[in-house]
Amino acid sequence: MTTPISSPGGLPILTILIFSPLVAAAVAMLLRSERLLKAWTLAFTTGAAIFSFALYAGFDIRTAEFQFRETAAWIPALNIRYDVGIDGLSLLLVLLSTLVMPICVLVSWRAITVRVKEFMVSLLVMETAMLGIFCALDFILFFVFWEAMLIPMALLIGVWGGPRKIYAALKFFIYTMAGSVMLLVAILALYFWDPNHRTFSIPELMGRNYGVSFQCWVFLAFALSFAIKVPMVPFHTWLPAAHVEAPTAGSVLLASILLKMGAYGFLRLCLPVTPHATHVFMPWVLGFSVAAILYGGLASLAQSDMKKIVAYSSVAHMGFVTLGTFALFLWGPGSSGGFLSDAMDPRGMGLEGAILQMVNHGVTAGALFICVGFAYERLHSRELSDAAGLGKRMPIYAFFLGAFCLSSMAFPGTNNFIGEFLTLAAGFKVSTWMVLCIVPGIVIAAAYNLRMLQTVAYGGTANPAHEGIRDLSAREILSLAPLFALVVWVGLNPAPFARVLHATVAHLLEQVRAGAPFSP
Amino acid sequence: MIPAFLPELVLLGGALVLFAISLGNGRAVLARRAVLFVSLATLAASAAALGETSTLFSGAYRVDAFSQVLKLTLSAGFVLVVLAGGRLPDIRVDVHPEYHFFLTTSVTGLVMLVSCVELITLVVALELASFPLYLMVPMRRERPGQRVQMESAIKYILFGVAANGVMFFGMSYLFGLTGTTSIPGIMAKLAGATGASPAGSDALPLGVSPWAIAGLSLMFCGIYYKLAVFPFHFWAPDVYQGASNETAALISSLPKVGAVAVLARFASLAPPEHATLAQVFVLLSAASMFYGNLVALVQTDLKRLLGFSSIAHAGYALLGFVALDADGLRAALYYIAGYLVMILAAFTVASRVSRDGTNVAIQDLSGLHRRSPLLALTLLVSMFALAGVPPFVGFTGKLTLLSAALANGHLTLVILAVLNSAIAIYYYLGVVREAFFRDASDVSPIPLDFPTRLLCVLLVALIVALGVAPEAVLARLSAAVTALGLVGG
């Protein structure tokens, strides 16, 4: 560590944000009382969430440069640096991560009864790994966080999970680990590409004039690990198992943050580092995205377990994210006067839509998993039929579930509408036929969401098993309220969220255009 | 002014004291205290002698940056092994002093081994390190119907002697070619023009003649045996299984460091411009990785599993030799030093979970996180480290190895290595599954004494620290490898 950490504001905000959860975890290990432990974790994660808004406040929306950059030598012998920084894309995901953490603690308050200390420590270690992934600008640093995140997540599923937790935890771990071994080879190949300037720095490895076949191999190695994480359709089978068996907080983390890591990988690494290969594989990824939207929707419609309904709907929603990411049309009119604000380049619609959709899905799917978790705590069953008519006993619950189901089906005025609209608009520019194929997927989304909402809120006659069930407590309302606020806020006024993306997306488009194989 | 060979002196003195202790009866506790003191004194002596350089015994014995950093590693490992041994529950109490005496003698051999730059001295040191191990394996307590330790010991000796024979044969070739047994002398002759080469061509250095290649390849076999590289691995799983937990911890850790060190010395003889030796390394590395990992998948005994995994790890370590350059050797040394800590952590858990020294089946680990959270954490860290998951030393070590191999264009081997990481994760995760995810009927807590708790914390801290902040170690190892004076620069 020879070079000192340099940060424009003087205070190394990102380093504090990334590593303070580890300190908090060390403190948590010393606490004896369970109540104190929970209170400490909640207080810390809330404090971190508030602290992270310093990033939004200090963020300069005019530049696509990485901000709050801190860099220092880490392992000079191997040319590895500690290098963190954020742009608009990472900013939103960092904020989403810090926001989700206190909610995870809140929903675990009563649900976790054994080994509470280890649970909270795992959550805090997860926070470090998640934030690290979104901030890392050195490939090895990125990879370290990428893999280190597996250990606490596997523990969350495997120790505190449901009946088939062992199967789910192993499948999750092995799938993700196996997917990312080639990522390491690709990283090393990029490192050795230029013998005169070997570097692991992500920004420096962008925009290099790699050969086409080299790009394609690197893209495939990247795409395999990211596609497993997203998950794209042929690689999604770990997801239902992991979601269903994980405790509620684990499901929320998986849905809200972990799936975003795959999409983040595509946007941060595949597009700018291998732009030519991105064009080569664009039709394939778009095809898989359409398949994910249709298959995820149909699979969701066929489930009777509420957690599986939400899990498969995640597959479909993430299909929109990859669709928006790869629906690239680069040489259309770049006039001002877009849908969201004057500053937006309409050619960046798909990318902005994809990024907003990442946040939206994080909010909505996380909230739906929490709703299912609350029902499970009361009924000890996740079967949709057992929950039929629950809304009669729990009006507040029914209200929240209704709001999130509407959001999940992209009802106008909710957050998902904005994201899906943008991605589909970009999709139209690429291929009308493709979007026509997606239309049934949108109808199916309405079907499975309304089916769940209808059954829970209005379904069935008075169920004797529901006697004595109480509506949501203040703690439970508190855990859903911020997510509900975001659903409405993004739905009605997406500008504060989209604003930070314009410069980043314009720069990303420029990078992809520069590396494209053809020009008009 | 301290003598350059202070660690060796301390060890020899300690061995003599332990020999004296072993002459009386009922001195097990005294011997245990003495060996702990000797190991700590050796560590202090190695640290004090870290910067020494000297050449002794007419150039047969060299104290340089290479030898001293390895002596420090070995003596640190010695302390850890003594702590991991604990009270030696599976060794008859009346032979405890002898056991400790042999342990010290073996470490003395290893510490001398890394300084030897002359073939005959080197062979003597190698045998000094090996023979006590042959004796320690059958010292395990006999149980009704269990004499597997005898079978293991016989296998260990027979394979060892056979491999040594092959090694001597290779050495005789080198001596015949160069007329000297000094490693720097051989190096100079092999790098020089082929005056006396039987092949007769005058443009190529002697080192690339078939005779030199054959001699070097055969000489390496003795080291492959120590490292348990496929196809010299047959003893490893059986010896791990047959020896007591504490002996297996020793055999799996310290001799591997010595073996990699000697292999690094020998590899500095190999001309990098000649591809044959590199190809042999590539083949052995790939075969070891696949064989060890695939067979480990079906193991049910924890020590046997670690035995097969050690074969795979020997394959990873060989990745550092395929390039025959400084970066590769440094990576191999760093990896094996990390492996020392990781495997000792795994064996510490095995020996503490075991009931009065019996072997531990993987199933016996179930519910460990309830029975002893600290042991479970140590096991978790060691398994994920062995699997190569960041931020532990297993990952950083593998990264340096892969990067060194890829720098020389061994893309296929690198891809095979990462595929093996993916295979290996399954059985390491199987161990973690038992310890953390499976709920056991037996939840009786495992009491740990203070040295064990200290050892566990120390091992976990080392695994993390070596993985996250390897810069100081890598810089030292760079200096060490430079001291080898590679042919290729």
Residue with tokens 């490693």: B183
Measured in angstroms, the CA of A358 and the nearest CA of chain B are apart by: 27
Q: Is A192 in Cβ contact with B471 (below 8 Å)?
A: no
pLDDT at A368 over 50: yes
Local structure of A305: helix, strand or coil:
strand
Q: Is B411 in Cβ contact with A77 (below 8 Å)?
A: no
pLDDT reported for residue A338: 46
List the structure tokens of A489. 């806020």
Q: Is B429 in Cβ contact with A188 (below 8 Å)?
A: no
| DSSP codes of every residue in B275-321 | HHHHHHHHHHHHHHHHHHHHHHTT--BHHHHHHHHHHHHHHHHHHTT
Of A154, A159, A185, the CB nearest to B414: A185
pLDDT at A3 over 50: no
Residues of chain B neighbouring A115 (CB-CB closer than 8 A): 369
**A237-270 burial, b for 16+ CB within 10 Å, e for fewer?**
ebbbbbbbbbbbbbbbbbbbbbbbbbbbbbbbbb
**A80-89 burial, b for 16+ CB within 10 Å, e for fewer?**
bbbbbbbbbb
Residue with tokens 């999130």: A404
Measured in angstroms, the CA of B392 and the nearest CA of chain A are apart by: 9
Mean pLDDT across the stretch A313-318?
93
Show contacts of A213-216: CB within 8 Å, 24+ apart: A214/A189, A215/A274, A215/A275, A215/A276, A215/A277, A215/A280, A216/A274, A216/A277, A216/A280, A216/A281
Question: In this structure, is the dihedral angle defined by the CA atoms of residues B18, B20, B23 and B26, taken in order, positive or negative?
Answer: negative
Q: Does A159 touch chain B (CB under 8 A)?
A: yes
Per-residue pLDDT of chain B (489 residues; tens, 9 = 90+): 578 889 999 999 999 999 999 998 888 889 999 999 999 999 999 999 988 888 888 888 989 899 999 999 999 999 999 999 888 888 888 899 999 999 999 999 999 999 999 999 999 999 999 999 999 998 888 876 667 888 889 999 999 999 999 999 999 998 998 888 988 888 888 877 554 444 444 556 676 788 888 888 899 998 999 999 988 998 999 999 889 999 999 999 999 999 999 999 888 777 666 678 888 899 999 999 999 999 999 999 999 999 999 999 999 999 999 888 889 999 999 999 999 999 999 999 999 998 777 888 998 888 898 889 999 999 999 999 999 998 999 999 999 999 999 998 899 999 999 999 999 999 999 999 999 888 777 778 888 899 999 999 999 999 999 999 999 999 999 999 988 876 544
Cis peptide, bond prior to residue B391, ω within 30 of zero: yes
Q: Which residues pair with B56 in a beta bridge?
A: B61
- Count Cα atoms within 13 angstroms, Cβ side, for B28: 11
Q: Is B406 in Cβ contact with A192 (below 8 Å)?
A: yes
The CA distance from B112 to B130, in Å, is 12
Q: Is A184 in Cβ contact with B411 (below 8 Å)?
A: no
Of A74, A148, A158, the CB nearest to B390: A148
Measured in angstroms, the CA of A191 and the nearest CA of chain B are apart by: 9
DSSP category for residue A74: E
CB A454 within 8 A of CB A389: no
Q: Which residue of A has its CA nearest to B438?
A: A166
Interface of B with A (CB under 8 A): 369, 373, 380, 384, 389-391, 395-396, 399-400, 402-403, 406-407, 411, 414-415, 418-419, 421-422, 425-426, 429, 432-433, 436-438, 469-471, 474-475, 478
Residues of chain A neighbouring B469 (CB-CB closer than 8 A): 75
Residues of chain A neighbouring B429 (CB-CB closer than 8 A): 154, 170, 173-174
Measured in angstroms, the CA of B275 and the nearest CA of chain A are apart by: 21
Q: Is B425 in Cβ contact with A178 (below 8 Å)?
A: yes
**CA-wise closest residue to A15 among A2, A3, A5:** A5
The CA distance from A207 to A190, in Å, is 12
Helix, strand, coil percentages (3-state) for chain B, rounded to 5, are 75, 5, 25
CB A393 within 8 A of CB A460: no
pLDDT reported for residue A333: 56
Q: Does A238 touch chain B (CB under 8 A)?
A: no
pLDDT reported for residue B278: 85
Q: Which residue of A has its CA nearest to B383?
A: A151
List the structure tokens of A396. 């507040």
pLDDT at A335 over 60: no
Of A78, A148, A185, the CB nearest to B418: A185
Q: Is A184 in Cβ contact with B399 (below 8 Å)?
A: yes
Residues of chain B neighbouring A148 (CB-CB closer than 8 A): 389-391
The chain-wide mean pLDDT, for chain A, equals: 89
CA B308 and chain centroid, separation: 14
Q: Which residue of B has its CA nearest to A157?
A: B437
Question: In this structure, is the dihedral angle defined by the CA atoms of residues B284, B288, B290 and B291, taken in order, positive or negative?
Answer: positive
Q: Does A220 touch chain B (CB under 8 A)?
A: no
- Ramachandran sector of residue A127 (left: φ over 0; alpha: ψ -120 to 50; beta: rest): alpha
Q: Does A155 touch chain B (CB under 8 A)?
A: yes
Local structure of B179: helix, strand or coil:
coil
Amino acid making up residue B27: R
The chain-wide mean pLDDT, for chain B, equals: 89
Q: Is A169 in Cβ contact with B402 (below 8 Å)?
A: no
Residues of chain A neighbouring B395 (CB-CB closer than 8 A): 144, 147
